[in-house]
Amino acid sequence: MAVAAALAASDKKARDVLVMDMREVFLLTDFFVICSGNTDRQVASIQEAVERKLAGAGVKPVRREGEQHRRWVLLDYLDIVVHIFRQEERDYYEIERLWKDAPLVDWEAEGERSLSSG
């Protein structure tokens, strides 16, 4: 699911897409997907693409936050949490720095493996 969310964000030209494996450092979720958009419209487009992709796999977020202002949209799928930032907010909050002990997932390679096997 995290790789699918990252691929959907990337398809909408999200910047600096990261997938962080949170299983050893955070008890509430398994993965963070973090990305940035340049405008409110792009943030909305990324959000819609992620939700559409995961809904196609039968998964819907249990909670959404930040949709009104589109500065930092959070989609909580329990096992993964997707953070879609405007670049200014991402630079300010630096959540990837806060969780720097979490290993990064090579989501692009995982996506390629999924495509070649399925």
**Domain holding 31: CATH number?**
3.30.460.10
**Tens-level pLDDT at each residue, the chain (118 residues):** 999 999 999 999 999 999 999 999 999 999 999 999 999 999 999 999 999 999 999 999 999 999 888 899 999 999 999 999 999 999 999 999 999 999 999 998 887 766 566 5
One-letter identity of residue 90: R
- The reply to whether 112 falls in a domain is no
Per-residue confidence (pLDDT) for residue 21, from 0 to 100: 97
- The reply to whether 65 falls in a domain is yes
Smallest Cα–Cα separation from 21: which of 109, 101, 83?
Answer: 101
- The reply to whether 23 falls in a domain is yes
Helix, strand, coil shares, percent, the chain, to 5: 40, 25, 35
Looking at the 3D structure of the chain, how many domains does it have?
A: 1
Which structural domain, as residue segments, surrounds residue 102? 2-107
